[in-house]
Amino acid sequence: MSKIVLSHISLFVANLIYAINYIVAKDVMPEYISPKGFVLLRVLGASLLFLLIHKFFIKESVAKKDLRLFLLCSLFGVVINMLCFFEGLSITSPINASLIMIMTPLIVYVLSLVFLIERMSYKAFLGVFLGLLGAFILITNGMSFQLNNRGDLLVLLNALSYSFYLILIKSMMKKYHPITVLKLIFLMGTIIIVPIAWKDVVILNWSYLPWIIILKGVFVIVFTTCVAYFLNISALKHLPSSTVAFYIYLQPLLATLIAVTFGKDILTPIKILATVLIFCGVYFVLKRKTI
């Protein structure tokens, strides 16, 4: 199996995890733990896991000149990204948050053109547009929505932050192992987030937490944070940042398919139309030429 095909499989699995996460994480936050506290647990748990894996299996050193770039990747990909998303999600609707998040592939594509990372491709633009349209229709179900200024602004900041992260982290993936990169950005993120969210974790009543909530929290830390992040940046070794971002369009589609499979949703003509548009977008994005 070629590295390109394996990278696309990795992206599909990562976004399948994110789709499942929409169902799992909402039961944990904010009833049992605050958004900031949950972010700290995620980042701290991921830091410890990547640190252990790196210590026993990778043992790769990093050049001091790259630490500044790693710090930027941590700020954009971990700190601002997670804090803004969870805080924004807690005060806006899931539909609004999802709609703003699907702007990420378009933002990444525009940034890639601005920084001359990619050349203009009509197929890529058409693919991004069709995917955006399909995801929009799927999330809104063809209905209108209202903006929530503060919550939506935080989610937009998260989308912008994650877009810059995907651009910046690309260069580090050419030099270092994915585990080395993740270990550093999550360790730096933990150091920054601890003073911001420590109180939210300290007041947490662990004995009050049901086992099912603890298991769902473990899923978010291990799979949504560690596994999905690893699969995404591993794919960046062989694919453009805009392609990695484009797979975000699959998240609402996969979440809908999961809901339909378990009888929690039904398949309608408008959802079928959205699915066709998203897959047409995937086709054009994968067919375009990159530099």
The model's pLDDT over 58-67, given as tens digits with 9 standing for 90+, comes to: 989 999 999 9
pTM confidence score? 0.87
* Tally of structural domains, the chain: 1
Encoded amino acid at 265, one letter: D
Reported as a single tens digit per residue, the pLDDT across 95-154 is 677 778 888 888 898 888 888 777 878 888 888 889 888 888 877 776 665 666 688 888
pLDDT category at 291 given cuts 50, 70, 90 is very low
Structure tokens at 80: 């601002």
Domain range spanning residue 229? 3-287
Q: What is the mean pLDDT of residues 195-215?
A: 90
